[in-house]
Amino acid sequence: MSEDFYDVLGVSRDATEDEIKQAYRKKATEYHPDVSDEPDAEEKFKQVKKAKEVLTDDEKRQMYDQLGHERFEQAEKRGGVGGGAGGRGQGNPFGGMGGGGQGSPFEDIFSQFFGGGGQGGRQQRNRPRQGQNLRTQVALDLEEVYEGVEKQFTVTRPEQCTTCNGRGHPADADVSTCPECNGQGQTTSVRDTPLGRVQQTRTCPRCEGTGETYSETCSTCRGDGITREEATLSVDIPAGIRDGQTLRMEGEGAPGENGGPNGDLLIDVAVRDHEAFERDGDDLYHRHPISFPKAVFGATVEVPTVDGTTELDVPAGTQSGEEFRVRGEGMPHLRGRGRGDLYVQVQVVTPESLNEEQKEALEAFAEAGGEDVDVSEGFFEKIKNSHLF
């Protein structure tokens, strides 16, 4: 039932607060139960109100953007978002949320916002985290998609620094306790939020949570533990994939933190246009010229397929523009059996030049049909003249 708040208000995800308020006023007027006679106006009005409430609150909006609609609502139901902001003092304003140590995804996100609570920042800061997903694009020819192909491509991505193995400092650097957080890895402050007073704990910016500082930083990665590297990868392109679809290579994204798994690499597939075929789903369309006599008497003509040619029987009396289906000569069904069809649209070609014999034959043809054609000025002249105008 519930819809994305941005959709409800009809604003883009980067809409300003003013835009959101403006959209709200418009929608609220439209759906106000006293005004609207739509049967579900009241429900819609509530949704609009709710959407505005969340999206005009910086904190909630940020959370909404990170969690997504469904998870935001779930979290809210569990009292995580709007509900009692009590729990001061014990550090975690959202009691009841994933009480266990390594629990729910919410805990993770909530701890980003609100410090994630009293129980053991020390373990939390070293918790393994999955690396980010990365995105790249691979362009393919129709022929490659027809067969399926192993495609090589290069991608520039963050990788763990090989000089320091991701530590950010030489192995023999001197260690001392971080003076900023006294080795806690976190700094704590108390802050007023719309949900009440919240004790906020952040990862220490100086030591980035390690609680330690080092006499030297790694000269390769300058202490990040991460370098940008170009990698050459290959991906199996399944036959029949379509333009705009996405493939996922697990573990080929950014490196995880604290021993967490790597993110994934998402590959957006682009399929280049083909000069002979247009594609619609798994079907292909091709325009094929045939001569006037063949259209009249019928003929077997050779038409191209993606990987060769096939024969098409054109019946006698075919009109220009008629379409014929060649079964099974379209694109392969993705991860299935068989292929789509090839549709051939026949175009009857009017000759632009004729030899003497053809000219006489055509004249005789016209006369036999009772048509009066004037070819005296010279067929070729006529063609030339008609091209001038």
Q: Binding residues for Zn ion, per CB under 5 A?
A: 161, 163-164, 218, 220-221
Quote the strand ranges of the chain, DSSP E: 134-140, 149-160, 175-177, 186-193, 196-203, 212-214, 226-237, 246-249, 265-271, 278-280, 283-291, 299-305, 308-314, 323-326, 342-349
Nearer to Zn ion, 5 or 214 (CB): 214
In whole angstroms, the minimum distance from the beta carbon of 276 to Zn ion comes to 52
In whole angstroms, the minimum distance from the beta carbon of 283 to Zn ion comes to 53
Q: What does the alpha-carbon distance between residue 278 and residue 47 come to, in Å, rounded to a whole number?
A: 43
In whole angstroms, the minimum distance from the beta carbon of 258 to Zn ion comes to 16
Strand partners, 176: 213
The secondary structure of 263-291 as a DSSP string is: --EEEEEEE---SS-EEETTEEEEEEEEE
Nearer to Zn ion, 164 or 198 (CB): 164
In whole angstroms, the minimum distance from the beta carbon of 261 to Zn ion comes to 21
Q: What does the alpha-carbon distance between residue 18 and residue 184 come to, in Å, rounded to a whole number?
A: 41
In whole angstroms, the minimum distance from the beta carbon of 218 to Zn ion comes to 3
Nearer to Zn ion, 165 or 246 (CB): 165
Q: What does the alpha-carbon distance between residue 322 and residue 343 come to, in Å, rounded to a whole number?
A: 10
Nearer to Zn ion, 163 or 291 (CB): 163
In whole angstroms, the minimum distance from the beta carbon of 175 to Zn ion comes to 16
Nearer to Zn ion, 164 or 331 (CB): 164
Asked if 320 and 348 touch (Cβ cutoff 8 Å), the reply is yes
In whole angstroms, the minimum distance from the beta carbon of 229 to Zn ion comes to 12
| Tokens (6 digits) for 287 | 């325009």
Q: What does the alpha-carbon distance between residue 170 and residue 216 come to, in Å, rounded to a whole number?
A: 7
Nearer to Zn ion, 116 or 225 (CB): 225
Q: CA triplet 233, 237, 240: central angle to 5 degrees?
A: 165
Q: Which of 264, 278, 306 is nearest to 149 (CA)?
A: 306
3-class DSSP state of 207 = coil
| Tokens (6 digits) for 212 | 């330690």
Nearer to Zn ion, 93 or 168 (CB): 168
